[in-house]
């Protein structure tokens, strides 16, 4: 179920989705670009989306990874302030922005969830700003793996594991690191017994307590 739909009755859900359009994207396909007219709001039904911005020098900064249930495209402005690209094959729900505002009036429970979602987006931005300014590379990686694991567990993933559909380069961009630093950091976390590499893209979080302390700025 979408995070947006928490608290809605089963009878309300069909009406909500009847107002949406279902669209599919191939991996790496662009959904919208920054400064494009913000005409729609989206919800991830399945797959992974990547949000990013381009710097003045042409460098890309990853701002977030979205999974099933995540709502995005939210902005009070006339245009999007980020770009969105499919990180895998993706299925989305799409609402016209004006029609979506009407739905918030019709469904107070959804409006409340919407406010909670927008608050979480702000909190995530502040947490990232703290991580980039205060935490070491290993601490950033620990926090990233915890976030991904917890987010995926909410949508049916295995607790204590983090599946990484994104590339190491995307992780590096997101955390403000180089790809070499990400690779070395994962190796150090593994050698310390904090994680286990099940496969290249599936990581077991072997010591959640220590990883959580690292995420708060403590050393392992």
d(CA 33, CA 183): 30
Joined together, the tokens standing for residue 180 give 């070499």
CA dihedral 7, 13, 16, 17 (to 10 degrees): 130
Angle at the Cα of 13 from the Cα atoms of 7 and 125, rounded to 5 degrees: 55
Region(s) of the chain under CATH 2.60.120.10:
3-129
Q: Which CATH class is domain 3-129?
A: mainly beta
**pLDDT tens across the length of the chain (220 residues):** 455 544 444 555 566 777 788 899 999 999 999 999 999 999 888 899 999 998 888 888 898 899 888 888 888 889 999 999 999 999 998 989 888 888 778 777 777 766 776 667 666 666 666 676 788 999 999 999 998 998 899 888 899 999 999 999 999 999 989 999 999 999 999 999 999 999 999 999 999 999 999 988 888 7
d(CA 52, CA 162): 21
Strand, helix or coil for residue 198: strand
Q: Residue 41: CB partners within 8 Å, gap ≥ 6?
A: 71, 72, 73, 74, 94, 95, 97, 100
Burial of 165 (0-12, 13-18, 19+ CB in 10 A): middle
> How many residues does the structure list for the chain?
220
Q: What is the mean pLDDT of the chain?
A: 85
Region(s) of the chain under CATH 1.10.10.10:
135-215
d(CA 105, CA 83): 28
With CA atoms as reference, report the closest residue to 83 among 63, 57, 66, 56. Answer: 63
With CA atoms as reference, report the closest residue to 31 among 82, 78, 98. Answer: 82
CATH level 3 topology of 135-215 = Arc Repressor Mutant, subunit A (1.10.10)
Q: What is the pLDDT of residues 68-123, one digit of tens each?
A: 888 888 888 899 999 999 999 999 989 898 888 887 787 777 777 667 766 676 66
Joined together, the tokens standing for residue 201 give 């893209």
Tell how far CA 188 is from the center of its chain: 25
């Amino acid at each position: 179920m979408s995070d947006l739909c928490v608290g809605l009755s089963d009878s309300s859900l069909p009406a909500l989705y009847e107002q949406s359009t279902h669209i599919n994207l191939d991996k790496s396909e662009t959904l919208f670009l920054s400064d494009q007219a913000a005409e729609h709001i989206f919800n991830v039904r399945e797959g992974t989306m990547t949000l990013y911005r381009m710097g003045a020098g042409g460098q890309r900064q990853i701002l977030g990874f979205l999974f099933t249930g995540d709502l995005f495209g939210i902005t009070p402005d006339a245009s999007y302030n980020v770009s969105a690209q499919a990180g895998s094959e993706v299925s989305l729900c799409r609402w016209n922005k004006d029609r979506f505002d009407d739905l918030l009036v019709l469904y107070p429970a959804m409006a409340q969830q919407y406010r909670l979602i927008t608050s979480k987006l702000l909190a995530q931005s502040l947490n990232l700003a703290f991580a980039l300014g205060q935490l070491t590379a290993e601490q950033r990686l620990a926090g990233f793996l915890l976030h991904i694991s917890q987010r995926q567990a909410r949508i049916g993933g295995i607790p204590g594991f983090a599946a990484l559909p994104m590339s190491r380069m995307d992780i590096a961009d997101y955390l403000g690191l180089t790809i070499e630093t990400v690779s070395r950091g994962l190796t150090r976390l593994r050698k310390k017994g904090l994680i286990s590499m099940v496969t290249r893209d599936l990581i077991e979080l072997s010591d959640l307590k220590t990883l959580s302390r690292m995420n708060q700025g403590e050393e392992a």
